[in-house]
Amino acid sequence: MNIVSRYTLPALLAAGGIFLGLSLTNPATASDVSPEAEVSTQGIDGTLAQFKIPGLSKKGGKKGKSEPAKVVPPPEPNLDLRAGLQCIDGFKPMDVQRGVRREYDVKEGMSTDQRTGFMDRESVEMTNGCFLGELQPNTCFAFTANESKYAELGNSNDWAVQCVYSDDPGAGALENKGEYPYSVDSMPGKEMMLLCGHTEGDGYECAEGSNSSRSGEWDKKLDKEGKVQLGFCVNTKAYQELSYDKDDYPSGRWAYCQYYNSKTKKNMFGFEFLQTHR
């Protein structure tokens, strides 16, 4: 008669039993094996014994420890780079403001229209001679410069925005213009001179008329002061041709930039911005 008994493996071994033909109770693939696989053996006397082997995973083998998630420290600006900024003597940005480019409302009686402007402005005090400061994604700098001095220092071929990654400046300048704001002539007058009737409160000059006429009014204002309008934005959507994997820098990377003049071998200004994936 075939008797089925349930024992633990240590008990069976302690009893001195001799077992042959070790096999799974129900033949199955390794993926079907439970964490405590039940195994049967048959002794010489025909008795069928079953016991459990703990520690087998459902996919077979011992359960292994999972690798800890990669910890990436948050990016930080490089203070040493701005400390070495060489500024052009007697020529620095003026009227420096930081803000955002967004829509604002304009009321005409019971009607409401929208325009785009340079909004939420705050004055900026430069450091290290001519360092504008830091920019988060989707923020902008707007500033003016002495118009005659700017013209004396050459045309667009004599100026260039140069950038390096703050955490690895030794790797050299970024070559792909899709990775940084390469133009500083991207703050039109219509965004500085808002349309009158706006609901943004005090602190914004306004004029009537179309976008082009308001830009003309702003230019006239600056001409009287001997200035030219400059500015740029860090637009997250614009800088997507990045040379690194998002998983390696999940919070982005800081990039240090300077506006370099080839005639003087110095810079009009420097800034640092956080470059992120979309």
Indicate the domain borders of the chain. 4-54, 79-275
Q: In this structure, are strands 227-234 and 131-135 parallel, antiparallel, or unpaired? A: unpaired
CA proximity to 47, closest of 11, 1, 7, 16 = 1
Considering only CA atoms, which of 107, 275, 98 is closest in space to residue 200? 107
**DSSP one-letter code for 202:** S
Q: Are strands 48-54 and 36-43 parallel, antiparallel or unpaired?
A: antiparallel
Identify which of 195, 166, 170, 203 has the alpha carbon closest to the alpha carbon of residue 82.
166
Is domain 4-54 classified as CATH 3.30.720?
yes
pTM higher than the cut 0.85: no
Which pair of structure tokens corresponds to residue 88? 């052009």
Tokens of 180: 């940084």
Question: What are the DSSP E strand ranges found in 65-220?
Answer: 94-108, 111-123, 131-135, 139-146, 159-165, 194-195, 206-207
The pLDDT profile of the chain, 278 residues, written as one tens digit per residue, is 444 444 444 444 444 444 344 444 444 444 444 454 455 555 545 555 554 545 544 444 455 566 665 677 788 999 999 999 999 999 999 999 999 999 999 999 999 999 999 999 999 999 999 999 999 988 999 999 999 999 999 999 999 999 999 999 999 999 888 889 999 998 999 999 999 999 999 999 999 999 999 999 999 999 999 999 999 998 765 555 677 788 888 888 999 999 999 999 999 999 999 988 76
